[in-house]
Amino acid sequence: MHPIPSSGNGLRPVVDHYPSNNLPLTTRSSAEQIIFWTAVLTPVWWLLGIQVLLYPLLLVGLLATSLRLDKLLRAPLPTCAWAWFLMACVMFITGAIGLSDVGISVSNVAAQTVTFLKSYFLIFACLSLPCWIGLRVQTITRAVAWMAAGYLLSIAAVLVLLFLGIKGYTPLLAALIPGDRLSLRVSFADIQSFFGIPLPRTALYTADPPILGACAVCSMLICLGEKNRSLRRLALAGSGLALLLSFSRSAWVCLPLALLVMAAFRSNLSRQILLWGTAAIAGLSSWFRLTPAELVQQPLTIFTKARAASSGDRELVVRKTLEAWQESPWMGWGIIRGSVRWYTYDIKLGSFSTYASVLYLHGVVGFIVFLGALLSTLGAFYTPALRGNAMAARAFASLVALYLLCAATPLSWMAASLWFYFIWLGSALAELQQSRVSSSWQELAFQSGSPRSHGHNKSLSGEATGEDRIFT
């Protein structure tokens, strides 16, 4: 980034740590190289069974090495990052209380530590890191695009292995790690019934197919911003195939909804989206002679029939989780202490809905903090999206989709697999923050008699410039 001239009063914006978007993508900082190759080599980490531990250790390690008091003062973190840090603190406190109740042991402490590092604290690290080491959105987008394009080869490979009767294996590392080992298992693909039809389903790089569905939706929305047309098409094809073979009904619904939200920003209907949504529901209810509740219930019933057994155990676990929460409503249980018997296997409480899980583990206090983190992150992109920033619109739409997906799968379980998405969100936040700083400094410099800086770096100011806007 070119330096902005001083106005003579000794004040300068803190912009030097952020790399210029005019640099070619082949020119990357060391931190960008690490993030780029970590994403591109995802299949390698998956086959080694180390990805669930690699991502938290790598990102938290980068955050720790880049942490400086002067950076914290000169480049303050966004409010939403602090909100996620507060949520991580709530998780730490309630977890400590839970451990003290059941008895502190080395295995319990180790399991809770691993869970802490790969959930809300990982989200905080991902949102904070780009603000301090300058990760460009276009670099992260390119890395995610290559990773998504790799879905095509990986899915082809797992389908061949399915045909050969090889469904997966448990890596040696799983025997050494305390806690739930399901997230460390390498699963290829299997045959599951969908509307009574046996079809191949895969979780690919994740622990569960719905998590793959969430990753596919997020990667698809990120890759819409890839400037290389050929790579973008491959990435969208890979993400679409992963979404299809995840057979995640929630993800199937959330993708068109996210695209609808983006279209609303594009057509300047975002301010009236609630009004139009209400009018559409009322109109359809009148047309089909159904109440609004019945109108919503009909498609839900169809989706439930697609995999009735899965819907049944999900409903049972969520209900039992909320019943257990009522026994410790304010601070929750801290750690999982119960399970639900479903046919021949046990399902841990809090295994599905994020919102029920947060109430169960962290109580009303944690739930309020969690909602604050969700809303502050969503709000950080709303105003730029209204002003026509395409990146902010994609981020806002993807967050809406993710929050809906959280109703089916715990965010603390998905976070490690979605690390690339939160890094992308963090780089988008850093770029928007840099835009505001640069814009404010340019106005100050111009008012102080330094016209050389007026109009400089216009693309960061949030005005309509080329591909930074949804439409031109």
Predicted pLDDT of residue 434: 82
Is residue 160 situated within a structural domain?
yes
CB 247 within 8 A of CB 209: yes
Structure tokens, 143: 């890395």
Confidence of residue 241 (pLDDT cuts 50, 70, 90): very high
Short-list 15, 19, 1, CA closest to 140 = 19
The model's pLDDT over 247-301, given as tens digits with 9 standing for 90+, comes to: 988 899 999 999 988 988 887 655 565 556 666 656 655 555 555 555 455 555 5
- Which tens digit of pLDDT belongs to each residue from 437-458? 666 555 655 566 544 444 444 4
> H helices within 164-228, ranges in order?
209-223
Q: Which two tokens stand for residue 293?
A: 């509740």
* Nearest residue to 426 (alpha-carbon basis) of 72, 134, 54: 134
Can you tell me the distance from the alpha carbon of 403 to that of 254, in angstroms, rounded to the nearest whole number?
10
Q: Report whether pLDDT(406) > 60.
A: yes
Distance from C-alpha of 155 to C-alpha of 145, rounded to nearest angstrom: 16
The answer to the question of residue 159 being in a domain is yes
How many domains, in total, are found in the chain?
1
Per-residue confidence (pLDDT) for residue 290, from 0 to 100: 54
- Mean pLDDT of the 399-426 span: 94
pLDDT tens per residue across span 331-384: 999 888 888 876 667 788 888 889 999 999 999 999 999 999 999 999 999 999
Query: What is the mean predicted confidence (pLDDT) over 107-118?
Result: 88
Judged against a pLDDT cut of 50, whether residue 5 lies above it is answered with: no
pLDDT tens digits along 15-68 = 445 555 555 555 678 889 999 999 999 999 999 888 888 999 999 999 998 887
What pLDDT, on a 0 to 100 scale, did the predictor assign at position 472?
31
Confidence of residue 314 (pLDDT cuts 50, 70, 90): confident
**Per-residue confidence band for 468, with pLDDT thresholds at 50, 70 and 90:** very low
pLDDT at 104 > cutoff 90: no
Has residue 269 been placed in a domain?
no
Give the C-alpha separation, 397 to 445, whole Å. Answer: 35
Residue 262, H or E segment: helix 249-266
Q: Using alpha carbons, select from 86, 302, 282, 307 the residue that is nearest to residue 210.
A: 307
Element (H, E) at 187: strand 186-187
Of 69-78, 228-237, 274-283, 418-427, which range is least confident? 274-283
SS3 content of the chain, % helix, strand, coil (to 5): 65, 5, 30
**Structure-token match 């003062």, residue found:** 73
The verdict on residue 113 lying in a domain is no
- Rounded Cα distance between 313 and 309, Å, is 6
pLDDT of residue 231: 96
Domain coverage including residue 205: 145-247
Confidence check: pLDDT of 467 > 50 = no
Torsion of Cα atoms, 307 then 310 then 316 then 320, to 10°: -150
Q: Give the 3-state secondary structure of 90-109.
A: HHHHHHHHHHHHHCCCHHHH
Reply yes or no on whether the pLDDT at 226 is more than 90.
yes
Please give the mean pLDDT across all residues of the chain: 81
Concatenated DSSP letters for 341-366?
EETTEEEETTSS-HHHHHHHHHHHHH
pLDDT (0 to 100) of residue 458:
43
Residue 393: pLDDT above 80? Answer: yes
> 200 — phi, psi (to 5°)?
-70, 135
238 in a domain, yes or no? yes
Question: Cα separation of 267 and 315, whole Å?
Answer: 38
* Helix, strand, or coil (residue 38): helix
Q: How confident is the model at residue 72, as a pLDDT?
A: 72
CA–CA separation, 355 vs 101, rounded Å?
23
pLDDT at 337: 86
Beta-bridged to residue 339, according to DSSP, are 348
Indicate whether 156 belongs to any domain. yes
Identify the helix (H) or strand (E) that includes residue 330: none
Identify the weakest region by mean pLDDT among 93-102, 290-299, 396-405: 290-299
Q: Report the percent of the chain where pLDDT is more than 70.
A: 74
Q: What is the pTM of this model?
A: 0.84
Express each pLDDT in 147-206 by its tens digit. Answer: 999 999 999 999 999 999 998 888 877 666 655 566 677 889 999 887 778 889 999 999
pLDDT at 457: 44
DSSP string, 277-339: HHHHHHHHHHHHT--HHHHHHHHHHHHHHHTHHHHHHHHHHHHHHHHHHTTSTTT--SS---E
* Residue 80 within any structural domain of the chain: no
> Does residue 217 lie within any of the structural domains?
yes
